[in-house]
Chains A and B, each alone.
Chain A
Amino acid sequence: MKKLIIYLLGASFVGAGELIGGKVPLATPDSGASRGENPLASSQMLQNILQYKDGYGEQFLHFQTEWFKPLFMYIGIGVLVVFLLHYLIIGPKRFSHERRQFYIFSLFMRVIHWIAAIGFVLIVPTGFMMVFGDALGGGTLVRNARYLHSIGTVLFAISLVPMFLAWFIPMLPTLDDIKWLFIAGGYLSKKKREIPAGKFNAGQKMWFWLAMLGGLVMIATGALMYFQTVDVNQLLQYIGITAEKDQIEYLRLSAIVHNFLGMVIAALFITHLYMSIFAIKGALDSMISGKKSEDELKHLHSSYYRKLIKKENKSSL
């Protein structure tokens, strides 16, 4: 014990001696981030004041005050009106469910799909609630919507990788998709005819790729805005990218990207809901039981249907 005290006293004397001797320890060049502190509070803050107009700050201000809210409103209302008109004028497609049933979606895929679905059902409406938060008066309601928005994201994130791996190959674009796009999937006519499409049609593929790749971007930008002080430059360094933008600039860019991409994803999500619940009667059942009726397959996924029949004939020979 005595030894320790003597040692400590000695150490403090040595330290003092250095100071008296003029050897003032120079502070390391400042960067709050490298010390593992809040990257938002660094000397970069001062430069940011002067660079505000050149950076994303001014742009975010412009988009948030002039663009985001009206665009979300137009897209939300626009999509709903289009589908209401479609339902009233062209109407839903009905297929016989009496003939054979084909087992299309495995239990695993259905579970993955419904995890993602619950995620989206939480994410999209709460997103709209935040955009129109002033109309709802803010406070606890909108704050809880923000929390639900993040919880939904966790569900979606869980489903993202398995869904991508399982559906990656059937979702690759084919020649059928071009034909599908030219006739808009046959949704503009009342006639029931064979639509060129594989296991998934071009519309489903668009939704898949947007939800997967766009979803990844949404998770990344959303997570950054959620965690706020996770140093992006350090993260980029781990994957070998040297970037010099300040943390606040990444946050601003995230908010801009998240809003614009969010509009597109919300629009296609509503489309997906409309198609599965209203436009094609009984389509929802196939994601519950995993089975699609022969009539529906033959018309809406004609190429896939032919492939299934061919395979069947081969195996029965």
Chain B
Amino acid sequence: MSEYARMKFYCDDERCIECNGCSVACAEAHELPVGINRRKVVTLNEGIFGKETSISIACMHCTDAPCEQVCPVDCFYIREDGIVLHDKDTCIGCGYCLYACPFGAPQFPKDGAFGTRGVMDKCTMCAGGPEETNSEKERELYGQNRIAEGKVPMCAAMCSTKALIVGDEQEVSKIYRERVASRGKGVQSAPYGWSTAYKN
């Protein structure tokens, strides 16, 4: 195992109130084009009393990320802390990463005069891209680089119920265990989606 931190997202469906704050904060912070939501809040059993649950999903920054494996132009790279990023100058917008992604994270903004599909855009865990850190070009293409400034990614930073948590897997797991223990129910070996994203 790497001696570096392994960054992971965790969304607590017991706490998520479907306020969509994470999605809005993300879009606002990174100045995303209209129609692009790097983070989406999905609700299950909507309107059914006692059964309604919401969960916020975005790129999970998988180990052995399938998107990285299928990309025909190899535009992805995985940082030492596990954050999966891609190079928009290399990307051709073919959509294969979307097909390979279990979480539906990659999205394709309309680009150009004829509304052709542009290059892929996805959650960067607020870690920018391959351009020079905090440069104008990086901000333009990938949004803020909050990780480089030592800040928490925007979505988790503003989550009002602290349903959405991001950080080193050890820390996230600890919080998850404490919450499950205090609730006394919903015991799972791993948080939702983790078994798909992180096959350790």
Contacts and interface: CB of A to CB of B under 8 A. Distances in A.
A43 interface: yes
B72 A134 contact: yes
B16 to A, nearest CB: 12
Contacts of B96: 60, 64, 255
B92 interface: yes
Interface string A33-72: 0000010111101101110100011001100110000000
B167 interface: no
B1 interface: no
Interface in A125-157: 130-134, 136-139, 142-143, 145-147, 150
A49 B103 contact: yes
B80 interface: no
Given A30-B46, A49-B196, A52-B102, A65 B94 contact: no
Given A60-B99, A139-B89, A248-B104, A52 B196 contact: yes
For A130, A138, A150, A252, which residue has the most chain B Cβ atoms within 10 angstroms? Answer: A138
Nearest to A249: B99
Nearest to A24: B47
Chain A interface size, as a band, is: 35 or more
A251 interface: yes
B12 to A, nearest CB: 14
A133 B117 contact: no
A28 interface: yes
Contact of B92 (A56, A60, A130): A130
Contacts of A145: 92
B73 A48 contact: no
Interface of A: 26-30, 38, 40-43, 45-46, 48-50, 52, 56-57, 60-61, 64-65, 130-134, 136-139, 142-143, 145-147, 150, 225-226, 228, 248, 251-252, 255
